[in-house]
Amino acid sequence: MGEDKLGLLYMASVLRNNNIDVRVYDEGERNSFKGLKKILKEYTPDIVGVSISTPNRFDGFKTANFIKDISKE
């Protein structure tokens, strides 16, 4: 995982230290969302965090919208 996801990993660590089940998934440069869809269907999380930096903001928005659409299914 790249440095742009460090904040998300820190947050996951804090949550785990407080006995909250956390999973971190990195789709990377693939942007196919195939693996992400499978995880969302199997895990059905209450909350999903998306790491977005300015240079990749449009991909981040695309990911967030994908997650939102999947959660409606």
* pLDDT tens, position by position, 17-48: 999 999 988 876 666 788 889 889 998 899 99
Return d(Cα 42, Cα 24) in angstroms, integer: 14
Q: Which of 4-8, 20-24, 66-70 has the lowest mean pLDDT?
A: 4-8
Checking if the pLDDT of 73 tops 80, the result is no
| Residue 1: predicted pLDDT | 53
Nearest of 59, 8, 69, 73 to residue 30 by alpha carbon:
59
Q: What does the domain layout of the chain look like in residue ranges?
A: 3-72
What's the predicted TM-score (pTM) here? 0.74
How far is it, in rounded angstroms, from Cα 42 to Cα 45?
9
For residue 2, the model assigns a pLDDT of: 60
Distance, CA of 70 to CA of 3 (rounded, Å): 27
Q: Indicate the DSSP class of residue 53.
A: -
Tell me if 47 sits within 8 A of 41, measured CB to CB. no
